[in-house]
Amino acid sequence: MGASAPVQSQAMLLRGQYLARAADCAACHTARGGTPYAGGLRMNTPFGAIHSTNITPHVVHGIGAYTYEEFDRAVRHGIRRDGKYLYPAMPYPEYAGISDEDMQALYAYFMNGVQPSAEANLDNALPWPFSVRAGLRAWNAWFKPPAPPAPDPGRDPDWRRGAYLVRTLGHCGSCHTPRGMLGQPKAMSEEDGADYLGGAVLDDWYAPGLARSLKTGARTWTEDDIVTYLETGRTEHKAAFGPMSEVVQHSTQYLTDADRRAIAVYLLSLPVPEDDDKDTERLAQPTQASSELANATPRSLGARLYLDNCIGCHRADGQGDPRTFPALAGNSAIISDDATSLIHIILAGSAMPATERAPTPLSMPGFAWRLSDAEVAELASYVRSNWGNGAKPVSADEVAQVRRSTGLPGAR
């Protein structure tokens, strides 16, 4: 961005940069340790592996030759400059709702505010027939959902802004909404039913439901909790992990406080599932687990494993340490019906994001090298059934599946 650029152009570029962060473009289009927006990130899908593409303004390897109309067609309609369809790992169904003004700012930023990179795009690793892009024409005809609905003009401005950020620009449903057999989103807004932001597995992580549900750990979240979480990746009792840690680091920490609050207003308005557990009181009650751990008298293998590996950070009462080690009672990774994230964290560990307000990326080590599948299952089942948690047990087969899928080593 040159110093001689007109004031209007500077403002447009800064707006485009903000929108690119709100849309979290860097999360997919930047490889680990790679050049920003130069692509190369491998993304595992149920249909094979896809590599993100170079979206810098390099004329040969990036999008430098795209006109605004071609850029718009790719982002909002999923069609490349050469007329071929993009795979819907690119959230163009959600981006279809981006406003014209925001699209123009995004185009200005990517063409004039991003450093060109000559990094060549990598081939995808998709088996036939998914490797044939011509089939995407049928997918778009049969399965592509309509764009997210425009926010209800009768709602207050914060809710409308939050709906736009969550449904469209932030494409939260790409991770948090389940998909059908051929990868189609089952819902695009709460108007489509309980599937919207209802929780889904993606790349060996479970993105929990976002409604105020006790089953997903979100029942006790306040507006301020959500705002703080989106800015720092942690609250008094919760912490971002896995892909959400990257969302905070690359995207939501850069949002204005007003936009983070708008997101909170919208999320807190989502309808609570009808089958949700209503017993919030039990999460604050002392339990036998707290007593036996505090006295170092574990009665089960799960308790012994917790005493050996977890108590130093998460404590005997499962409450952790505020803004440092997350509580296990009522934690979404612990109590969700799907235990994929819990298994993944125990095996591989995870780190909180490094943000301006919370610059230390506190991390948990992985125990794949130390614990067998059966031991991980016992430990996971233990934390899912104590301190008021009431989730179903985990099997050794479930652990083995995550270990295989992530390529983590077995215990020695």
Q: Which residues are annotated as a binding site for heme c?
A: 25, 28-29, 172, 175-176, 310, 313-314
Taking the C-alpha atoms of residue 264 and residue 371, their distance in angstroms, rounded to an integer, is 38
Structure tokens that stand for 223 in this block: 């507006």
Q: Would you tell me the crossing angle of helices 257-268 and 223-232 to the nearest 10 degrees?
A: 130
Which letter does DSSP use for residue 296 in this model? T
C-alpha to C-alpha distance for 256 and 233, rounded to whole angstroms:
15
Q: Which residue has the tokens 């549900």?
A: 213
Closest CA to 181 of 147, 139, 209, 148: 139
Structure tokens given for 115: 């450093």
In 3D space, the residue among 295, 346, 345, 333 whose CA is nearest the CA of residue 316 turns out to be 295
How far is the CA of 340 from the CAs of 143, 207, 344, in angstroms?
27, 9, 6
Residue length of the chain: 412
Q: Which of 390, 400, 268, 276 is nearest to 334 (CA)?
A: 390
> What is the rounded distance in angstroms from the CA atom of residue 48 to the CA atom of residue 407?
15
Residues of the binding site: 25, 28-29, 172, 175-176, 310, 313-314
Provide the 10 A C-beta neighbour count for residue 33. Answer: 5
Backbone angles phi and psi of 45, in degrees to 5: -125, 170
| Helix or strand (DSSP H, E) at 412 | none
Residue 180 vs residues 89, 173, 175, 325, 336: alpha-carbon distances, Å: 14, 13, 13, 36, 20
- The conformational region for residue 217 under phi > 0 = left, psi -120 to 50 = alpha, else beta, is left
DSSP conformational letter for 114: S
Strand 199-202 and strand 205-208: pairing? antiparallel
